[in-house]
Amino acid sequence: MLGSRVLLIVGGGIAAFKIPELIRMLRREGIAVVPVLTKGGAEFVTPLTLSALSESPCHSDLFDLTRESEMGHIQLSRAADLVVVAPATADLMAKMAAGLADDLASTLLLATDKPVLAAPAMNVRMWQHPATQRNRDTLEEDGIRFVGPDQGDMACGEYGPGRMAEPEAIRERILAMLGRDRPLRLSPEIAVALPAEPPVPAIGPLTGRHVLVTSGPTHEPIDPVRYIANRSSGAQGTAIAAALRDLGARVSFVTGPAEIPPPAGVEVIRVQTAREMREAVEAALPADAAVMAAAVADWRVANAQDHKIKKDGIGSAPVLEFSENPDILAWIGRLREGRPRLVVGFAAETDDVLAHASAKLQRKRADWIVANDVSPATGIMGGTENAVTLITADGAEAWPRMPKDEVARKLAARIAEALGQPPQEPQP
């Protein structure tokens, strides 16, 4: 969107070396970038580099008297369409969560009235520390969105979650938050985001097939800044969509606000709530198969407010009233016309996994259920591995614990086997 403006706050971490490439990507999209460099960030990238690439002055000093005579820090915080913090260090996240304002970056973040996207980057132990996780929870409650962190090797020699998301993933999230996907309005409440060019599928056993995949959590609003959600990262659904794509399928990927960016080469349909997901699923049909991997909220807040709920000062809490959300899996499983030939549901359980999942197979009229144990001790919810049991009319088949992308490839191969040969080759 020509004319979009991003205020880019660069924190003090080794990942700052990726920021010049991010700026190049945004500028190629016609997005104006105004860089703000922290004292720590200046140890890894220079103001001249950021200024030259962004074609905008690089700001770093809160007490720039020339600009402060016009309240420059307020103007900077309000003139942007989106504020991006990358890398978002543990220190910056702590300042944001506590509402501190002792330098230009933290002051801008406290003064802004615009959406904020943070790309965390830090040592794995720092990321996993309870204080950092509390700060992240606080920031999410305040409405701040996150991209990453990724898992991998780090500059300090350790391995694990804490790597800043790659510039391409940050770019995609920025474009989504700026509304850069082409909107196709299904209703006043939902916009379906399609890629600028139709993806070209690979050639494989699913060539000519259309597969619908849902992924990620849903967010059910309490008020304009708070929502009810779950811990799903969207990693398993994203991996399944990529595996199906690699086997030649045309994939419609309906995703809630997941941490993991959608894969390339699929049709991306972004939603927020369960009702939006239900509408998007219906719009994406017909399909040869539907893989319902999203962690859809069972309930929504019936008395959600259109303004931020304030504390009353006497310790009483607001009373939330709940209504059931649409059961998307049961709806698609019971379709009389247009039902996909293969409907695959997921059952994330914390106890009696096989019993609950087997009952779900019958109750939802699905063909398969992929069941897993997501109790906290397993580390599966939001983690990188999964241990699933595939439940069909023929019985239960336990798969060993493995990375989620391997689970996805195995499931995609089984789907290809179940669907058999495609009816036709895709048209060039």
From the CB of residue 180, how many other CB atoms can be counted at a distance below 10 Å? Answer: 18
Give this prediction's pTM.
Answer: 0.54
Tell me which residue of 300, 298, 301, 309 sits closest to 225, measured CA to CA.
309
Question: pLDDT (tens digit, 9 = 90+) per residue, 377-392?
Answer: 777 666 678 889 999 9
Q: Which residues lie across from 213 on neighbouring strands?
A: 253, 291
Unique residue bearing structure tokens 């190049």:
24
Q: Is 327 annotated as a binding residue?
A: yes
Q: Is 360 annotated as a binding residue?
A: yes
What is the structure's pLDDT at 73? 59
Bridging pattern class, strands 210-215 and 289-292: parallel
E-state strands within 167-324:
182-187, 190-194, 210-215, 220-223, 226-228, 250-255, 267-270, 289-292, 299-301, 322-324
Rounded distance, CA 74 to CA 412, Å? 51
Q: Is 328 annotated as a binding residue?
A: yes
Q: Is residue 314 classed as helix, strand or coil in its secondary structure?
A: coil
Q: Which domains does the chain have, with CATH numbers?
A: 5-173 (3.40.50.1950), 184-419 (3.40.50.10300)
Distances (CA, A) of 131 to 109, 232, 341: 20, 21, 48
Q: Is 308 annotated as a binding residue?
A: yes
What is the structure's pLDDT at 381? 67
Unique residue bearing structure tokens 């960030």:
41
Q: Residues 52, 79, 156, 225: which is the catalytic one?
A: 156
Rounded distance, CA 124 to CA 384, Å? 14
Backbone angles phi, psi at 47, to 5 degrees: -60, -35
Q: Is 306 annotated as a binding residue?
A: no
What is the structure's pLDDT at 377? 75
What is the structure's pLDDT at 383? 67
Q: What is the mean pLDDT of residues 176-202?
A: 47
- Average predicted confidence (pLDDT) for the chain: 84
Write the burial class of residue 3 (CB in 10 Å: 0-12 exposed, 13-18 middle, 19+ buried).
exposed
156 in active site: yes
Q: Is the pLDDT of residue 419 over 70?
A: yes
Residues near 79 by beta carbon (within 8 Å), at least 6 away in sequence: 5, 7, 34
Residues near 248 by beta carbon (within 8 Å), at least 6 away in sequence: 201, 202, 203, 204, 205, 206, 207, 208, 209, 422
Tell me which residue of 376, 181, 184, 396 sits closest to 280, measured CA to CA.
184
**DSSP code string of 69-106:** TTTHHHHHHHH-SEEEEEEE-HHHHHHHHHT--SSHHH
Question: pLDDT (tens digit, 9 = 90+) per residue, 83-141?
Answer: 999 999 999 999 999 999 888 999 899 888 889 999 999 988 899 899 999 999 888 88
Q: What is the mean pLDDT of residues 169-173?
A: 88
Residue with more model confidence, 296 or 185? 296
Q: Is 201 annotated as a binding residue?
A: no
Rounded distance, CA 97 to CA 141, Å? 10
CA angle at 310 for the pair 305 and 312, rounded to the nearest 5° = 125
Residues near 376 by beta carbon (within 8 Å), at least 6 away in sequence: none
**Percent of the chain topping pLDDT 90:** 50
What is the structure's pLDDT at 64? 60
Tell me which residue of 186, 244, 235 sits closest to 212, measured CA to CA.
244
Q: Is 329 annotated as a binding residue?
A: yes
Residue 176 is which amino acid?
A
Rounded distance, CA 77 to CA 394, Å? 59
- Asked if residues 378 and 387 have their Cβ atoms less than 8 Å apart, the reply is yes
Rounded to a whole number of angstroms, the CA Rg of the chain reads 23
